[in-house]
Amino acid sequence: MFLKPLNNNVPIHYFCGHSLGLQPEITRLKINAELEKWALYGVEGHFESPDPWFSYHHTVKKGLAELCGAKESEVNANGSLTSNIHNLFASFYNPTKEKYKILTEDIGFSSDNFAMQTQVQFHGYQIEDAIVFLEHNENYCFDTDYIIEQIEKHKNELSIIWLSVVNFLSGQVLNLELISNCAAKYNIKVGVDLAHAIGNIPLKLHTWGVDFAVWCSYKYLNAGPGATGGYFVHEKNFPQSKIEEQLATHNSQLTTILGGWWGHKEETRFQTGISFDPVNNADAWLHSNANVLSLSALRASLEIFLSEDIHLLSAKSKKQTIYAFDKFRQSNKIKILTPEKQAGNMISIQVLNQDKSLVTKLKEQNILVDWREPGIMRFSFCPLYNEENEWKHFIDLLNEML
């Protein structure tokens, strides 16, 4: 079902799905089908062909909605993770004199941190004043009670809470439901990075009341390097029609949506001399027509996910990570960073008295993992393509090597 890299014609035991997912076998067929369509139809492929390009982005909504725990109207594929952060922050970050601060992790992914820093600067604030950093513990994690305490402490100043549902360094899974419920009490918007969460753990973004989310599609979604990203906007934040605005007792319309022609209503999208009239769902945040070749790769992977059950996949992954935790607890050469009760597919450990050459030694044994300083090794069990026997072989071998 998936193509594994080869080393001397021997398949590698690949445990880097948290960094770049493997290629599904059907991806090449999906991309070639669109290339063939381009050759056969030319510009008419937008409307006259099977799966016309005009509406091609709709074909990935079902899979994305299922993985996000959302309605199809709340999700879409577009842009990249960081471009989507800026796009959605234009709508959701509306700082006032009293509420202008952002609460985020001090070890968030660097691209997210750059986005937060430049967002507050764009609005005329100083980074050291406008960003409240959650301080990680010795395992690069954040206790839920501590996060709630910080929300309560800064509730009158916070405009947005921005968090990674699964931390890229520690692999910790946050209790997003409790955090969202706390934020809602104080009218604080909640935005989340799902880069390491979507396709990894079951999500219920709609039920949890998360305001917006973004992700990349090249990790657990297996859509290829630099693949088109995606986003979620809760329906409570959809743009309202003018009539709805007049009738509404509480106008929930956001201050700004940065308009583009694919976010405009379909029936008048190609007319000239008109004002931006956004679609009344998450499509309003689209800017341009779909990158069809990239979306065809995403579609290939999502079809595989739709044939599975994310809860069963997660349970399969949990069984294997428990095996790893049990083994690692027996070693005095390993510090486990990922909390077992808040773990997804990825486990992070800090290996003592070792350097990156350990990764090279594992690669010589046809095992691929990755390394982050200081001394952190990350590896993931992706149940779509990692087998139980190869995972146990890797864990046992690593223990022996240490």
**Residues written for the chain:** 402
Provide, rounded to the nearest whole percent, the portion of the chain with pLDDT above 70: 96
pLDDT bucket at 241, cuts 50 / 70 / 90: low
Q: What is the mean pLDDT of residues 204-227?
A: 98
Closest CA to 107 of 193, 173, 176, 167: 167
Q: Is the pLDDT of residue 243 over 50?
A: no
The Cα–Cα gap between 313 and 41 comes to: 39
Q: What is the mean pLDDT of the chain?
A: 94
Give pLDDT tens digits for 157-197. Answer: 999 999 999 999 999 999 999 999 999 999 999 999 999 99
Pairing mode, strands 101-105 and 334-336: unpaired
Common-topology check for domains 46-304 and 309-401: no
Q: Which of 142, 148, 150, 200 is nearest to 169 (CA)?
A: 142
Q: Residue range 99-104: average pLDDT?
A: 98
- C-alpha to C-alpha distance for 99 and 157, rounded to whole angstroms: 4
> Where do the structural domains in the chain lie, given as residue ranges?
46-304, 309-401
> 3-class DSSP state for residue 352?
coil
CATH fold for domain 46-304 = Aspartate Aminotransferase; domain 2 (3.40.640)
Q: Is the pLDDT of residue 365 over 80?
A: yes
| The residue to which tokens 């008048």 are assigned | 268
CB atoms within 10 A of CB 168: 24
CA distance 179 to 176: 5
Closest CA to 64 of 380, 381, 282, 293: 282
Cα 397 to its chain centre, rounded Å, is 31
CATH number corresponding to 309-401: 3.90.1150.10
pLDDT at 363 exceeding the cut of 90:
yes
pLDDT of residue 255: 65
Residue among 18, 196, 181, 187 nearest 105 (CA): 196
Mean pLDDT of the region 352-371: 93
- pLDDT tens per residue, range 20-76: 999 999 999 999 999 999 999 999 999 998 899 999 999 999 999 999 999 999 999
- Give the mean pLDDT of 269-278: 92
Beta strands in 138-205 (DSSP E): 158-164, 189-193
pTM of the model: 0.94
- The predicted pLDDT at position 242 comes to 44
Burial 291-314 (b: 16+ CB within 10 A, else e): bbebbbbbbbbbbbbeeeebeebb
Per-residue pLDDT at 354? 87
Q: At what angle do helices 357-364 and 388-401 cross, to 10 degrees?
A: 130
Report d(CA 279, CA 1) in Å as an integer.
Answer: 37
Does 250 score more than 90 pLDDT? no
pLDDT on residue 246: 43
H/E element, 385: none
Query: What pLDDT shows up at residue 254?
Result: 66
- Per-residue pLDDT for 247 more than 70? no
DSSP 91-157: HH----SS--EEEEETT--HHHHHHHHHHHHHTT--HHHHEEEEPP-TTS---HHHHHHHHHHTTTT
Q: What percent of the chain has pLDDT over 90?
A: 92
Residue 150 has pLDDT above 80, yes or no: yes
| pLDDT at 14 > cutoff 70 | yes
